[in-house]
A and B are shown apart, each in its own frame.
Chain A
Amino acid sequence: MGFDPLDKGQDTLFVVRQGSVLRSYKNDCPHWPGSPMAWRKNEYLTSDRTHIACHGHGARFDIPSGLCISGPCEGQSLQSLELKIDESGHVYVRLEHLSKNTV
């Protein structure tokens, strides 16, 4: 799912859940920095849901690590964002980590 906490008009980060684990990455493909990755709202994964994909040129990324395993930026990684989850299940991200060179 994508989010736009800084009100940029386009989602700047996304969160992927695998089982009970949540991971968050900047919506910014290392191939061409500044490039958003979804093809439609909240659609950040391959159709078989096994990898994160960038829908600019089809790069695929490992979900747990954000490493690009195939595509133009192979070997580079997504910028991961630290999530904090409180006892009620609310999810937080540090906005200053997000605002460094945003989309």
Chain B
Amino acid sequence: MNIIGPDALVFGVENVQDCEQYLLDYGLDSVGDGRFEALDGTSIVVLTKDDASLPPALPTGNTLRKTIYGVADQNTLDAIAEELGKDREVKLLDDGSLEANDDLGFTLGFQITVRKTIDLPAETVNAPGAAPQRPVNVAAADPDAAPKPRSLSHVVYFVPDVAKGEAFYMQRLGFRCTDRFTNAGPFLRPAGTRDHHTLFMIQTPPFLQGCEHFTFHMGGPTEVMQAGTRFVEKGYESFWGPGRHIFGSNWFWYFNSPFGCHVEYDADMDIHDDEWTAREALSTEDTSQIFLFQHREKWFPSGGPPPAKE
């Protein structure tokens, strides 16, 4: 199934204004109708929780109402409709997209992807031993840079039955398992992308079911640091990070949010194909990151005479 990845996540919330402001401050652009887009057209949609157009909420009340996947072409949509139609209702919506539930009760959408091809440089690194990655006389550090989220990277679900969830995505929709945390769950990659994962699932008691976090890819580690710092300076609450994960290798920085789940900036994720052999580990402080930092107020060693006593 040529599924590329999540095009959009749809949330139904009580505090629409707080959530909208949060997404603007995070760096997404408002394009109307509650949709907030990244540079490639992937998006988060925020509506009031009673909006009649929304699929029903999970019994847990989690604010994620729908995960919309982008696929390569109509053939893929037809194949998905046929496969899922064997044992569940598959709705055809007015815009040509499909809607159906996965085996855990999450509402999924499938559409021909809205992702635009974007042509942006990756972060450049100059290092001894390798050719310089940027031209002479180009200064990389820009304190006024305002890096923007480029593309919806992945979503993480808390699920009551990881084995059941994994079986659905892998056997019915053709996702691959790239790596696995034994006591949590699998990192899943749809066949249409090489990103390490677009979906990760964590085994939890049933009352937690829902979205744990979502994240957008930034252009590199410095963009994660700079966007995260800007976000902290606006008053938002850092939860975990910045740091670098081991599985996936991506830089991460997670924040609390008014959505009832975490929101992350990530960058520089590994890409994989079917030649890769999945790794497995127990998830611990040591297996989930190489290092972990914490934001601090700027300081510098000033070296002059000590300041006058107040």
Spell out A's residues near B (CB within 8 Å).
Answer: 9-10, 35-43, 46-48, 54-58, 72, 74
- Do A36 and B18 touch (CB < 8 A)? no
Q: In the complex, what distance in Å separates the CA atom of A47 from the CA atom of B48?
A: 13
Tell me which residues across on chain B come within 8 A of A9, comparing CB atoms: 294-297
- Do A41 and B235 touch (CB < 8 A)? yes
Q: Which of B261, B294, B295, B296 contacts A57 (CB 8 A)?
A: B261
Residue of B whose beta carbon sits closest to that of A103: B294
**Nearest Cβ on chain A to B28's Cβ, whole angstroms:** 16
Mask: chain B, 57-80; 1 = CB below 8 Å from A; 0 = not? 000011100000000000000000
Tell me, yes or no, whether B124 is within 8 Å of chain A by CB: no
Q: In the complex, what distance in Å separates the CA atom of A41 from the CA atom of B231?
A: 11
The 8 closest A-B pairs by CB, nearest first: A58-B260, A41-B235, A47-B15, A55-B256, A39-B256, A38-B237, A40-B235, A39-B258
- Do A56 and B256 touch (CB < 8 A)? yes
Q: Is the interface of A mostly helix, strand, loop or mixed?
A: loop
- Do A47 and B18 touch (CB < 8 A)? yes
Tell me, yes or no, whether B207 is within 8 Å of chain A by CB: yes
- Do B236 and A39 touch (CB < 8 A)? yes
**Nearest Cβ on chain A to B252's Cβ, whole angstroms:** 15
Size category, B interface? 20 to 34
Tell me which residues across on chain B come within 8 A of A10, comparing CB atoms: 237-238, 294-295
Tell me which residues across on chain A come within 8 A of B237, comparing CB atoms: 10, 36-41, 55
Spell out B's residues near A (CB within 8 Å).
Answer: 14-15, 18, 22, 61-63, 158, 204, 207-208, 212, 234-239, 256-258, 260-262, 294-297
Q: Which of B158, B237, B238 has the most CB of A within 10 A?
A: B237
**Nearest Cβ on chain A to B187's Cβ, whole angstroms:** 21
Q: A36-B238, A47-B15 are in contact. Are A55 and B297 (CB under 8 A)?
A: no
- Do B257 and A39 touch (CB < 8 A)? yes
Tell me which residues across on chain A come within 8 A of B234, comparing CB atoms: 40
Tell me which residues across on chain A come within 8 A of B22, comparing CB atoms: 39-40
Tell me which residues across on chain B come within 8 A of A43, comparing CB atoms: 258
Of the A-B pairs whose beta carbons lie under 8 Å apart in the complex, a sample of 16, sorted by A's number, is: A9-B294, A9-B295, A9-B296, A38-B256, A39-B22, A40-B258, A41-B237, A43-B258, A47-B15, A54-B256, A55-B256, A55-B260, A57-B158, A57-B212, A72-B204, A74-B207
- Do A36 and B239 touch (CB < 8 A)? yes
**Nearest Cβ on chain B to A66's Cβ, whole angstroms:** 18
Q: A39-B22, A47-B15, A47-B18 are in contact. Are A57 and B238 (CB under 8 A)?
A: no
Tell me which residues across on chain B come within 8 A of A42, comparing CB atoms: 235
Q: In the complex, what distance in Å separates the CA atom of A12 from the CA atom of B162?
A: 34
**Nearest Cβ on chain A to B25's Cβ, whole angstroms:** 9
Tell me which residues across on chain A come within 8 A of B204, comparing CB atoms: 72
Q: Which of A9, A38, A39, A48 has the most CB of B within 10 A?
A: A39
Q: Which of A36, A46, A47, A48 contacts B256 (CB 8 A)?
A: A36
Residue of B whose beta carbon sits closest to that of A10: B238
Residue of B whose beta carbon sits closest to that of A36: B237
Q: In the complex, what distance in Å separates the CA atom of A19 from the CA atom of B296?
A: 35
Tell me which residues across on chain B come within 8 A of A41, comparing CB atoms: 235-237
Q: In the complex, what distance in Å separates the CA atom of A37 from the CA atom of B239?
A: 9
- Do B260 and A40 touch (CB < 8 A)? no
**Nearest Cβ on chain B to A46's Cβ, whole angstroms:** 8
Tell me which residues across on chain A come within 8 A of B63, comparing CB atoms: 58
- Do A57 and B297 touch (CB < 8 A)? no
Q: Which of B14, B238, B294 contacts A47 (CB 8 A)?
A: B14
Q: In the complex, what distance in Å separates the CA atom of A51 from the CA atom of B32?
A: 31
